[in-house]
């Protein structure tokens, strides 16, 4: 965009220079002709009008070409962004399909393991003597697992503390960076407004001096005494100075109002940044707490499984002495299995509840962000509109002032000519009419340019609003699609849990049929222990799937934040470029008006 803008500015500069050269050539040609001074001036004004109309047409053509080029590039950019979003969604769907295939493979493996367990039940009838040795080895493994769990818990807490401190530091650095950027933008805006204000004051003083010089020359030519000339000149100087002071006060008041508006807007943006980062900190803290809660539940389930294993060992030893006591232990084991199933179901339900709450909070934050974006776009559009209106009024006032000064100079020249009063009056009427027409044409051009600028700003605001709504809709669709995939995965996990429950129920029936034989009871206890381990595996699978879904939600949230930050930076850049363009156009218009004034003089 910057490259096309520079090209447009260079072309406009060349056309303006060509226009100036053409005016100079026409002026030189008219000066060589043997015509009256008034005819020369009228002919020069007509030539200038035609040349300026030609220049305006060329500049309008260049601007239209530039607008078409920028629209084409913006359309291409939006198309690429949509394609990138589409590829990202496809990638996420592929990832979910891979998870689904892994779950299917795991289900197949569990079914195969169940069949192998049945085969092992027959084989274990011949190796019952090895049970005590294996139980002792299992106790050693449990002790090692407890030690490893304790070390892993300590290491996990250390990592979590470091990660939390690092994340808080990064968020604080990002907040300070955004605040520094806001202060820099406020200082830059203040400097630009001060420079513009100083330039306007300098222009007003120069116009004041030029007006005084013109009036001084006019008074010197009048047939008055020196005292009358001096009194008249002093009166004119006082009046002109009073007008200048009023104009300078108006400029200073406008500057103060603009600086106050910039300061208030910076304060609002700083408060919005602080609020956003506080919300992010709260959300991160909630996620850490949920993770710690899930880890605590996982440790409790692990301890329950270990306790169940130890109870199974003690029950197996007690079966050597008392059959009725064995039946009571079997009943206790059945209760332990039901507790384990209930714990797995509670963990799954709690996970679903946490994920639903996280999704609700994320959706609320996205809607709030979109609402703030709309309000910010509306405020910026109103500020730009008011700035354009003020600039247009100032430009019209300057054009009228220049026209009055030119008309006064022409009147002075006609008064100096040695002709009769009727001819002077006719010339004055003709010159006033021509000056009024020229002023009306110039004001009409300024109004058309002002209307075009307002239309461009309105279209730009509408386009940004539409883009923001479109991005919100796309993000909502992506989240809905991910939630549907999550529901399908949860349904498959539920089916897997039910399958495990069915296998546990079958094992319980088999235990009931084998209660009459001590050896069969021992074998069924071993099978029961295997079912507990399978339940533990199912629980681990549920927790892993839950962590994967939670990670996807966090990545989606971080991606949304990055997109909002990128859009905010791009909008600030576009705003600065548009502001620089308006300032440059304003200066070009002022320079053109001054050149026209110098040419007429």
Say yes or no to pLDDT of 66 above 80.
no
Structure-block tokens of residue 281: 């900190």
Structure-block tokens of residue 231: 């009194």
H or E stretch including 455?
A: helix 421-513
Determine contact, residues 474/556, Cβ cutoff 8 Å. Answer: no
Determine contact, residues 110/534, Cβ cutoff 8 Å. Answer: yes
Say yes or no to pLDDT of 584 above 70.
yes
Residue 259 or residue 483, greater confidence: 259
- Write down the pLDDT at residue 31: 78
DSSP-assigned letters across all residues of 275-319: HHHHHHHHHHHHHHHHHHHHHHHHHHHHHHHHHHHHHHHHHHHHT
SS3 417: coil
Q: What is d(CA 185, CA 195) in angstroms, rounded to the nearest whole number?
A: 15
Determine contact, residues 407/435, Cβ cutoff 8 Å. Answer: yes
Report the Cα 142 to chain-centroid distance in Å. 52
Q: What is d(CA 138, CA 229) in angstroms, rounded to the nearest whole number?
A: 120
- Write down the pLDDT at residue 556: 62
Q: Which of 130-139, 147-156, 253-262 has the lowest mean pLDDT?
A: 130-139
Say yes or no to pLDDT of 404 above 70.
yes
Say yes or no to pLDDT of 204 above 60.
yes
- Write down the pLDDT at residue 383: 65
Q: What is the CA radius of gyration of the chain?
A: 43
Residue 212 or residue 585, greater confidence: 212
pLDDT tens digits along 315-333: 555 555 555 555 565 555 5
Confidence band of 552 (pLDDT split at 50, 70, 90):
low
- Write down the pLDDT at residue 51: 77
Confidence band of 6 (pLDDT split at 50, 70, 90):
confident
Residue 208 or residue 468, greater confidence: 208
Q: Name the range with the highest mean pLDDT among 88-97, 160-169, 499-508.
A: 160-169
Closest by Cα among 585, 599, 434 to 20: 599
pLDDT tens digits along 449-468: 767 767 777 777 677 777 76
Q: What is d(CA 144, CA 138) in angstroms, rounded to the nearest whole number?
A: 10
pLDDT tens digits along 335-344: 545 654 565 4
**Across 406-427, average pLDDT:** 74
**Across 273-294, average pLDDT:** 64
Confidence band of 215 (pLDDT split at 50, 70, 90):
confident
Please count the CA atoms within 13 angstroms of the CA of 559 that sit on its side-chain side. 14
Q: What is d(CA 497, CA 352) in angstroms, rounded to the nearest whole number?
A: 15
Say yes or no to pLDDT of 234 above 80.
yes
Confidence band of 18 (pLDDT split at 50, 70, 90):
confident
Mean of all residue pLDDT scores within the chain: 69
Q: Name the range with the highest mean pLDDT among 58-72, 102-116, 508-522.
A: 58-72
Q: What is d(CA 119, CA 334) in angstroms, rounded to the nearest whole number?
A: 22
Query: Going by C-beta distance under 8 Å and a sequence separation of 6 or more, which residues neighbour residue 263?
Result: 186
Say yes or no to pLDDT of 22 above 70.
yes
Q: The whole model's pTM is what? A: 0.29
Say yes or no to pLDDT of 515 above 70.
no
> Is residue 253 classed exposed, middle or buried when 0-12, 13-18 and 19+ CB atoms within 10 A define those classes?
exposed
pLDDT tens digits along 299-311: 666 666 566 556 6
Share of the chain above pLDDT 90, in %: 0
């Amino acid at each position: 965009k910057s490259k096309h803008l520079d090209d447009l500015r260079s072309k406009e500069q060349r056309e303006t220079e060509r226009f100036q050269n053409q005016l100079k050539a026409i002026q030189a040609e008219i000066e060589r002709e043997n015509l009256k001074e008034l005819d020369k001036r009228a002919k020069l004004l007509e030539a200038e009008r035609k040349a300026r109309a030609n220049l305006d047409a060329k500049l309008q053509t260049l601007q239209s070409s530039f607008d078409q080029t920028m629209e084409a590039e913006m359309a291409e950019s939006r198309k690429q962004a949509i394609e990138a979003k589409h590829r990202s969604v496809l990638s996420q769907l592929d990832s979910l399909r891979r998870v689904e295939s892994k779950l299917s493979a795991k289900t197949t493996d569990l079914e195969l393991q169940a069949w192998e367990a049945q085969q092992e039940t027959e084989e274990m009838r011949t190796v019952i003597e090895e049970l005590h040795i294996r139980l002792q080895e299992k106790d050693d493994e449990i002790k090692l697992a407890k030690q490893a769990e304790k070390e892993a818990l300590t290491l996990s807490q250390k990592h979590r503390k470091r990660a939390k401190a690092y994340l808080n530091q990064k968020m604080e650095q990002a907040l300070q960076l955004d605040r520094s950027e806001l202060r820099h933008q406020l200082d830059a805006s203040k400097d630009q407004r001060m420079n513009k204000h100083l330039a306007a004051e300098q222009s007003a003083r120069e116009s004041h001096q030029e007006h005084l010089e013109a009036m001084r020359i006019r008074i010197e030519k009048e047939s008055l005494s020196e005292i009358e000339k001096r009194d008249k000149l002093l009166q004119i100087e006082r009046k002109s100075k009073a007008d200048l002071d009023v104009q300078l006060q108006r400029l200073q008041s406008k500057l103060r109002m603009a600086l106050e508006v910039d300061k208030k807007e910076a304060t609002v943006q700083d408060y919005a940044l602080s609020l956003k980062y506080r919300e992010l900190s709260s959300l991160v803290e909630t996620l850490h707490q949920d993770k710690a809660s899930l880890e605590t539940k996982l440790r409790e389930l692990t301890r329950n499984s270990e306790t169940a294993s130890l109870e199974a060992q003690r029950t197996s030893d007690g079966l050597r002495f008392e059959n009725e006591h064995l039946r009571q232990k079997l009943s206790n084991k059945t209760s332990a299995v039901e507790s384990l199933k209930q714990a797995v179901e509670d963990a799954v339900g709690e996970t679903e509840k946490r994920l639903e709450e996280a999704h609700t909070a994320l959706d609320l934050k996205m809607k709030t962000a979109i609402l703030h974006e709309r309000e910010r776009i509306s405020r910026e559009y109103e500020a730009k509109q008011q700035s354009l209106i003020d600039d247009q009024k100032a430009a019209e006032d300057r054009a009228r002032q220049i026209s009055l000064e030119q008309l006064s100079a022409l009147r002075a020249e006609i008064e100096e000519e040695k002709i009769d009063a009727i001819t002077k009056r006719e010339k004055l009427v003709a010159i006033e009419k021509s000056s009024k027409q020229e002023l009306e044409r110039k004001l009409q051009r300024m109004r058309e340019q002002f209307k075009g600028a307002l239309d461009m700003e309105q279209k730009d605001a509408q386009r940004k609003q539409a883009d923001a709504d479109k991005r919100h809709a796309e993000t909502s669709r992506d989240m809905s699609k991910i939630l549907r995939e999550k529901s399908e995965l949860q349904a498959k996990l539920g089916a897997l849990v039910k399958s495990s429950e069915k296998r546990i129920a079958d094992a319980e029936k088999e235990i009931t049929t084998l209660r009459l034989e001590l050896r069969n009871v021992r074998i069924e206890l071993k099978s029961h222990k295997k079912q507990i381990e399978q339940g533990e595996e199912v629980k681990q699978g549920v927790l892993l799937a839950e962590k994967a879904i939670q990670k996807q939600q966090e990545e989606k949230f971080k991606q949304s934040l990055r997109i909002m930050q990128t859009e905010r930076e791009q909008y600030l850049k576009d705003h600065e470029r548009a502001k620089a363009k308006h300032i440059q156009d304003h200066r070009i218009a002022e320079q053109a008006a001054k050149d026209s004034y110098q040419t007429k003089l």
